[in-house]
Amino acid sequence: MTTPKVLIIGASGTVGSKVVKEFENNSEGVTFRLATSRRETAEKWEAEGREAVVLDLNEPRTFPAALAGVDRVFLLTGYTADMLIQSKHLVDAAVKADVSHIVHLGVFTSRRDLIPHFIWHDFIETYIEASGISWTHLHPNVITDSTFTRTTLQETGSFSVMFNGAQQGWVFAEDIAAVAATVLREGPEKHASANYYLSTEVLTGPEVADILSEISGKQINCLTLDPSELEAHVSQIPDTGVRAYMESAAITMKLAATGQMTAQTVVRDDVFTVLRRPGLTMAEWARQNLI
């Protein structure tokens, strides 16, 4: 029996790099291939003894070689409206390559959200489901690592949120990666047609700062910014696809700031469903990283 091969798209990103780390720690039952849009990165990985390939989501001609011999794909796209065409072309190529399982990283959708990029993910997931390939969708809430990291807190002693003092659901990238890697290792026999929602706890930005300050013994401040500050920045983005995505992000922040994202201000910890352990809390992360 052939050992399944996993293609990790976005292997150098916030979540993708942690998926790679999970596989390096435990790749039992599978082999894996790292994908990047940068040739120099792929060459660096190959020099380190890793299997790597250049896959540019904006260049479908790079897909066949990247997918050759691949059974399972971790699919995530960039912060651009181009995610729609990127994902369609990738799924079409995966069908041709006889990929058996796609694990897609989406958003914490209610399927009824008034947010463009949430709806784009809904469409992408519907297309994946119609492809005939087995699928699993991961739905992370606000990824903590996109708001702060240990390094940024140590350097600045602060972080900012764009939804004023409103509550939001949070999850750490390492938990998303652990779930993704487990699903990819265990495959469609166990995880086909599953939607996993990842929202470990609901907190305001200031509440997060209080937790981090108490445990670290150092004052950590949360700057609660108004979504209008993001809008001013977005209008200056020259790339149409990126600007459209960030306009959608601004809509998200506005709805969150005014308490209209009730479907997202919930705890739903499918980290436990997959890993049989609860997701990492702010307090636990602080104890591991700030003491």
Which DSSP state fits 44?
H
Give me the residues paired with residue 201 across strands. 170
Contact (Cβ atoms closer than 8 angstroms) between residue 71 and residue 99: yes
Q: Are 134 and 102 in contact (CB under 8 A)?
A: yes
Sequence ranges of the domains in the chain: 5-141+171-198+266-279
CA 258 to chain centre: 25
pLDDT of 289 above 70: yes
Say which residues have a Cβ less than 8 Å from residue 233's Cβ, sequence separation at least 6: 246
CATH superfamily of 5-141+171-198+266-279: NAD(P)-binding Rossmann-like Domain (3.40.50.720)
Average pLDDT rounded to a whole number, residues 6-21: 97
The tens digit of pLDDT for each residue in 123-160 reads: 999 999 999 999 999 999 999 999 999 999 999 999 99
Q: What is the pLDDT of residue 127?
A: 98
The reported pLDDT for the residue numbered 1 is: 64
Strand partners, 136: 103, 194
Separation of alpha carbons 170 and 241, rounded Å: 26
Residue 231: half-sphere exposure toward Cβ, Cα within 13 Å: 9
Categorize the per-residue pLDDT at 229 as very low, low, confident or very high, splitting at 50, 70 and 90: confident
Number of CB atoms found within 10 A of residue 114's CB? 11
pLDDT, tens digit (0-9, with 9 covering 90-100), for 47-72: 999 999 999 999 999 999 999 999 99
pLDDT at 232: 82
Above 90 in pLDDT, residue 37? yes
